[in-house]
Structure 1
Amino acid sequence: MPENGEITSTITNNIATIEFHHPKGNSLPGRMLRDLAQTITGMGSKEDVNVVVLKSSGDGAFCAGASFDELIAIDNFKEGKHFFMGFSLVLNAMRSCPKLIIVRVQGKTVGGGVGLAAGGDYTLAHKSAAIKLSELALGIGPFVVGPAVERKIGPAAFSALSIDASSWNSAEWACQHGLFSRICSTHEKLDEEVNALSEQLSDYSPEAMKELKKMLWKGTDHWDELLEERAEISGRLVLSDFTKEFIREFKSK
């Protein structure tokens, strides 16, 4: 696997599988976010794809969120907005993709990774897949992923998750609040469940699934503008001395 991360994709029996990998906990630098968004959009336009599976590599963390190396290097608003627009592009690609998207969450997920789990139309997780929205602790806030997460778990749970930015919430908590559709006790069982559901959906009517997806995401047509506005908030806050110092201390541990 490349040290700077990569996005890979395959199509088998009308099932598109998109996998992202980064050696630092499957974190997502800006380049990978844009590659991921383009890949999702591309798969959505293919006639030989009926369903999309989004996953990350390995059995460890699903996604460590934003790349701290990249965050600490941001030194102006334009760069900050550009970075956070990467998450906006991915979430809007998931939202507007006409195919149903299954997300496989095999381990802990933080920040933007929680957004990816929320962007799925059906998210299957391993029992170890605890979640955390750590952005407020960084001096930012879960602004870009917020609409996707709140849409799934509701305002009360989203408020609790956003404010208690240093605590992990269990996979069971995430399932009870609707972020995860189902929890599996082993990674083998998780793969079996993902494969079974994707194979089942691959035989369904593409037109029916497209119409269902439109219905499921009703009321989100304004997200292109909304998530850009949220990226501007994060892009401004990431320049603060508070955030820079937090990241330096975190990286020195």
Structure 2
Amino acid sequence: MTQAYVTSTIEEQIATIEFFHPAHNSLPSDILAKLANTITEVGQNDEVLVIVLKSGGQRTFCAGASFKELISIQNETEGEAFFSGFANVINAMRKCPKFIIGRVQGKTVGGGVGLASSMDYCMATKYASIKLSELNLGIGPFVVGPAVERKLGVSGMSQIAIDANTFYSSDWALQKGLFTQVFDSTEALDEAVQDFAKNLCAYNPEAVKEMKQMFWRGTEDWDELLQERAKISGRLVLSEFTKEKLKRFK
């Protein structure tokens, strides 16, 4: 398929949510909104015990924000609205009462690192290097920052945020605790994700819900915090610096 989509399927109490965009799985507003809504709906479905979140295609898990949409932002309101899309997905994952397993098959940039950081348990291939490239564009990883910092610590997050040109290896991400396991192939990853998801189905859903709240303790203000961060990004994307940078990507 070459059209962007978000799908969800339920099999044996495991829900698989998949997103795709032909531009390296970059995320425009409509896909972000569908993703947030799908995570919320599936999380409320009593038939579902575990969620697997993945992207389509082979090479890239997620290229982050849609450049096409970034270039077209005209004012601060539009800017805030666009970056709120990432905030809404992260908050949907945070509030979801089910464990979300991440399946990261390839390179992950910007907002994609935020998604990976918001998984409750994230598995990847050796090709899944990560980069926070936002500073290159004159903005910063403001919206995803709290999620990335929660997983990598301030030290790890600041390292990749400042070194915005460099892809950090899947092994680095494994050592820092972003990934739980790294596999040599997508086939091995898929097998491990399915086996793990099946194991999680044996747990008491009430215990899972309580544990999820425990793991995310201290993030109760993220509805407001991530919205404030979206305002910062929405303002910076209109700066002359960023406009010049984005022109080169056209």
Common topology (TM > 0.5) = yes
1:48 and 2:47 aligned: yes
Q: What residue in structure 2 maps to residue 30 of structure 1?
A: 29
Structure 1 runs (4+) greater than 3 angstroms displaced: none
- Post-superposition offset of 1:2: 4.5
- Post-superposition offset of 1:242: 1.4
Q: Which runs of 5+ in 1 are unaligned?
A: none
Q: What residue in structure 2 maps to residue 168 of structure 1?
A: 167
- Post-superposition offset of 1:250: 2.5
Distance 1:11 1:32 in 2: 20
Q: What residue in structure 2 maps to residue 110 of structure 1?
A: 109
1:233 and 2:200 aligned: no
Supply the AA of the counterpart residue of 1:49: V
The more displaced of 213-222 and 242-251 is 242-251
For residue 154 of structure 1, give the secondary structure of its aligned residue in structure 2: helix
Q: What residue in structure 1 maps to residue 223 of structure 2?
A: 224
Q: What residue in structure 1 maps to residue 78 of structure 2?
A: 79
Identity %: 60
TM-score scaled by structure 2? 0.99
**Match runs of 1:94-243 below 5 Å:** 94-243=93-242
1:19 and 2:22 aligned: no
Supply the AA of the counterpart residue of 1:8: T
For residue 64 of structure 2, give the secondary structure of its aligned residue in structure 1: coil
- Post-superposition offset of 1:157: 0.8
Distance 1:35 1:243 in 2: 27
Supply the AA of the counterpart residue of 1:192: E
The more displaced of 94-103 and 238-247 is 238-247
Distance 1:79 1:99 in 2: 32
Distance 1:248 1:216 in 2: 41
Distance 2:52 2:95 in 1: 15
Distance 1:239 1:182 in 2: 39
The more displaced of 201-210 and 127-136 is 201-210
For residue 26 of structure 2, give the secondary structure of its aligned residue in structure 1: coil
Q: What residue in structure 2 maps to residue 65 of structure 1?
A: 64
- Post-superposition offset of 1:181: 1.0
For residue 161 of structure 1, give the secondary structure of its aligned residue in structure 2: helix
